[in-house]
Structure 1
Amino acid sequence: MMPKVVMYVSGFCPYCTMAEKLLRTRGVEEIDKIRVDLDPEQRVEMINKTGRRTVPQIFIGPTHVGGYDDLAQLDRQGEVTKLLAG
């Protein structure tokens, strides 16, 4: 069973779109997207969880992957597939 994928996003965010596309190419069908631009409390939660202010912030299961650049680097190393395998 694939772990839950959670992504903090905002409405217009090309990096969020690229992250979602990459995850979908790796077989992720469901992404729980949390819109921080619509709910300031969610932005505060994201900052407290990650220490970062930018979106996207991506979690695969309990693992904080980081933003799009972090996700892409992990993907090049084959680590995204391992994280998604559980």
Structure 2
Amino acid sequence: MSVTIYTTTRCPYCVMLKNFLSEKGIIFNEVNVEKDPAQMQKLINTTGQMGVPQTEINGEWIIGFDPNSIMATLRK
């Protein structure tokens, strides 16, 4: 299973997402789009959304901090 989260440095929802995943023991990769503008452009091109956090789980995208959708997607 592959979990990647796209974040920025000052986003409170990004911190909440990282804490949630850590508490659940879910291993994730973090991409800070502030530090990598090319990844921000990839995100916009892929999802059409500029906001963070965004989570990619095995090719499925979850926009924002949405624990229920994250857990449902992980169970698939």
TM-score higher than 0.5: yes
* Bigger mean CA offset, 30-39 vs 19-28: 19-28
Equivalents in 2 of 1:33, 1:44: separation in Å?
16
Give the direction of change, closer, same or farther, for the CA distance of 1:9–1:80 in structure 2 (3 Å limit).
closer
Equivalents in 2 of 1:43, 1:24: separation in Å?
23
TM-score (norm 1): 0.76
Q: Match for residue 20 of structure 2?
A: 22
Whether the aligned pair in 2 keeps the contact of 1:26 and 1:81 (CA below 8 Å) is: no
Equivalents in 2 of 1:6, 1:40: separation in Å?
16
Larger radius of gyration: 1
Local SS of the residue matching 1:44? helix
- Deviation of residue 9 (structure 1)? 0.7
Identical aligned residues as a percent: 30
Are residues 1:55 and 2:55 paired? no
TM-score (norm 2): 0.84
Count of residue pairs brought into register by the alignment: 76
